[in-house]
Amino acid sequence: MVKELREITGAGMMECKKALVETNGDIEVAVENLRKSGAAKAAKKSGRVAADGIIKVATADDNKSAYIAEINCETDFVAKDSNFLQFADTLIQAALDNNVDSVEALMACEVDGKNLEQARTDLVAKIGENIQLRRIQKVVAADGQVGSYLHGKNIGVLVAATGADEDLIKDLAMHVAASNPQYVDADEVPADVLEKEKEILVAQAQDSGKPAEIIEKMVEGRIRKYLAEITLKGQNFVKDPDVTVAKLLKNNQADVLNFVRFEVGEGIEKGEDNFVEEVMSQARGK
């Protein structure tokens, strides 16, 4: 648990141990307490990326809808294997062809007389690694269009927008890939998320010893900065940092309806191999 808390917060081992003791092993409360005390170096939004695989996207001919999927394997070697890549292509195309709404629905689809779950099982036997369709999501823009961006094989983005041409949507998707916003705008941020962040900021500000009215202004400013950091429209546009995405959209009389960003392995933890220890262990005959 100490190791897990350290990975989440970046705080020292003894600080993490103390936080866990004080919260009777409640990691979520321990994370909040560490942030409030200023001990945490950073609050990571997901676990350490470890699983390998590929992100695939497919867009309908009318650009009104698109799918994004994450297909996982165990190693980078298999992620480049032609059999694995062909299976990934088959999955995303089948999603588009069958208008599926879940992983289970897609794996039940038949391609060339065989359902995709059986095709997956056969591929696992052939390659010798575990292969999984981890997730798939559909994005629709009835009154606009959907665009996509792939950064190598590891990051994929779909953006649904109105009033935007193909180039602008691609630029927006590229921005999402690079800056990883969590919401379209401040209105989308859940009240409980905002309230929890405000509690943390208030606790941090109170340590400054400043008067209550100054603390209130400090917190208001930090909340504005926080919202700008986590929302697409609040962020500075990656290709022109002098303007926000909101300003970019206004200048082009466009708007973003929603977006989806997938990154291979995000939130999945995998044990680290200690090569030196493995060699020493073999040398000792263990």
pLDDT digits (tens, 9 = 90+) for 236-283: 999 999 999 999 999 999 999 999 999 998 877 665 554 455 445 555
Higher pLDDT, 120 or 230: 230
pLDDT tens-digit profile of 146-170? 999 999 999 999 999 999 999 999 9
Position 118 confidence tier, pLDDT thresholds 50, 70, 90? confident
Helices (H) and strands (E) in the chain, counts: 12, 10
176 φ/ψ angles, rounded to the nearest 5 degrees:
-60, -40
**H helices within 128-244, ranges in order?**
166-179, 191-206, 212-230
pLDDT at 227 over 70: yes
> Which residue is associated with the tokens 């879940």?
102
Cα distance between residue 209 and residue 15, in whole Å? 23
Name the CATH superfamily housing domain 52-178+255-263. Answer: Elongation factor Ts, dimerisation domain (3.30.479.20)
Residue partners of 49: CB distance under 8 A and separation at least 6 = 263, 264, 265, 266, 267, 268
CA distances (Å), 153 to each of 10, 69, 79, 93, 201, in order?
28, 11, 9, 17, 37
Residue with tokens 């699983």: 51
pLDDT of residue 271: 53
Residue 284 has pLDDT above 60, yes or no: no
Amino acid sitting at position 139: V
User: pLDDT value at position 272?
Assistant: 52
Q: Which one is predicted more confidently, 43 or 105? A: 105
Distance CA 259, CA 67 (A): 11
**214 pLDDT above the threshold of 60:** yes
Take residue 167 and report the two structure tokens written for it.
Answer: 């180039």
- 129 secondary structure, DSSP code: S
Q: What's the one-letter identity of residue 179?
A: S
Q: What pLDDT was estimated at residue 232?
A: 97
C-alpha neighbours within 13 Å on the C-beta side of residue 136: 24
Average pLDDT over residues 15-34: 85
Phi, psi of 168 (to 5 degrees): -65, -40
Domain boundaries, the chain: 2-47+184-251, 52-178+255-263
**CA angle 87–57–237, rounded 5-degree value:** 150
Residue 211 confidence (pLDDT): 76
Give the C-alpha separation, 277 to 190, whole Å: 46
For the full predicted model, state whether its pTM sits above 0.85. no
